[in-house]
Amino acid sequence: MTHLDLSDARIAVIGSGTMGIGIAQLAIMNGHLTVLYDLDREKTQQAVEGLHQTFAKLVEKGKITDEQAQQACSRLSIADGIEDLADVNLVIEAVVEKLQVKQSLFQQLAAICNEHTIFATNTSSISVTEIAAGIPQPERVVGLHFFNPAPVMKLVEIVQGLKTPAGLCHALKTLMLNWKKIPVLTKSTPGFIVNRIARPFYAEAFRALQEQVTTYEQLDYALKQCGGFAMGPCELTDLIGQDVNFSVTQSVYEAFFYEPRYRPSLVQKELVDAGAWGRKSKQGFYHYDEKNQYSTFQPEVITATAFQARLQVKGAWSQLPELLTRLALNGGTENEENIIQMDDIDLRLSQGESANLNYLSRKTVLMDWHHDFSKAQAVVLSHNQLCQADDLAKVEAFFAQYQIHVIWITDHPALLTLRTLVLLINEACEASLHGIASMEDIDNAMRYGVNYPKGPYQWMMQLGAQYVLQTLNNLYAIYGEEKYRASLYLKQYVAQQQSVTANDSKDLTAFA
């Protein structure tokens, strides 16, 4: 399979649901003779009729020509029975997410198709190695995980089982590139890349809610405004379905032998138990009307008040280079702690400390990280118990001068955005430690699979690996939980970074 060419492959798509018909659409649009098979013939016919309507809309919008639509439709046929798939080169199954169903299907096909037919599973969570174990010639079984909706979403995870040859994966990568997709290569591991590395985005949000740090509306607003995410974790899980997201988390948790990093949340379980599954049930974290519209958090209009305080800036604030520019302040030296002193109040950029546990003798306000402080509309802050109401008002007045809204949360180590990012980075490092995927593929997977503004390693370069490591070490010291233990891969990267020249330390690929 080293030089396998799939450019003219005859393709069978099994399953005529949303994912299956979407994959069939991709195949026929890219010139492949394609046969669609489903046990439910009526459902299959309805899916094809729906596809014709989709093409009509694309023609109407000028996305494709009428001729292109007709040619694509002419390449699609419906199989009367599974025997009609005997002469295809590539089978892509998109059936129910159950191991026994997928294995049984491939076993039937193994008796019908020739031994060189490729069996690709669109599974999002089941081990490709386990699926292949019950199939003759298991080396032809591979994961080809599309994201919904398949014609729109760019990412495809190509999953290598234990016996899947690298040549087959690379042939599929070439095919996906021809289909204008962004393919990433991953080993068969629970959750693959996206569903594994994304877990902290939800887990840390739900933990903040369980610890009564903030409200779900403010949490979503903070992750969007300060983190640059398109949707907050509560909005996104409502969209996915709380039941679906919870099930994936459970699956990953169990598959990793109950690794604490993936432990499901009681906050989410309560929603699932109540049938509050999100948009599809019209209630999750949010309440939805008949048009699926819902109310989101909006900060109050800033009323600027007179700010009077003695200011002194220490440190270079290299993790937030735009901050001092936005606040029209001159920084100190790189070897000083990052502190803005307002009279007797210390404003610090969080490094994962607890305001109440780590700062006992001075009034201290901890600030969350912001992805672009030059355009910041809000900043998330916490404070220790020494701060009084007039101190908080003074801090608010300071930021109000620059039209920046302050969102106060309860003392929460690493606050919201920073905590989310360092845990995402740490999970990516664990995946790299285990050789699951390359740094580039991990970044692409998270950007194009779940629409993150950056990949974990891009964030690590922006924040600085040493800062990420320090934040994780502080979280681990406070909580004493394994889920906050810094990855060995991250520790090794920081150690190497400290031992090479300044120019080399900027090259992330030196450690790949």
pLDDT at 502 over 70: no
pLDDT at 331 over 90: no
Least-confidence region, from 81-95, 159-173, 220-234, 316-330: 316-330
434 CB-near residues (< 8 Å, 6+ apart) = 187, 189
Q: In this predicted structure, what is the pLDDT of residue 377?
A: 96
Domains and CATH numbers, the chain: 11-188 (3.40.50.720), 195-281 (1.10.1040.50), 311-408 (3.30.750.190), 418-505 (1.10.1040.50)
Q: Which residues are catalytic?
A: 124, 145, 157, 195
Q: What is the mean pLDDT of the chain?
A: 95
From CA 217, how far away is CA 222, in angstroms rounded? 9
Q: In this predicted structure, what is the pLDDT of residue 79?
A: 97
Question: By the 8 A CB rule, do 384 and 411 touch?
Answer: yes
Q: In this predicted structure, what is the pLDDT of residue 1?
A: 47
Strands (E), 315-432: 339-342, 345-349, 363-367, 378-383, 405-408
From CA 450, how far away is CA 235, in angstroms rounded? 13
**3-class state of residue 120 by DSSP:** strand
pLDDT at 163 over 80: yes
Tell me which residue of 141, 95, 92 sits closest to 115, measured CA to CA.
Answer: 141
Q: Averaged over 387-403, what is the pLDDT?
A: 96
pLDDT at 354 over 90: yes
Query: For residue range 221-272, what is the model confidence (pLDDT) as tens digits?
Result: 999 999 999 999 999 999 999 999 999 999 999 999 999 999 999 999 999 9
pLDDT at 202 over 80: yes
**CA-to-CA dists, residue 370 to 317, 346, 357, 367, 380, angstroms:** 12, 19, 24, 9, 9
Least-confidence region, from 30-44, 454-468, 487-501: 487-501
Which tokens go with 246?
């919870």
Q: In this predicted structure, what is the pLDDT of residue 509?
A: 53
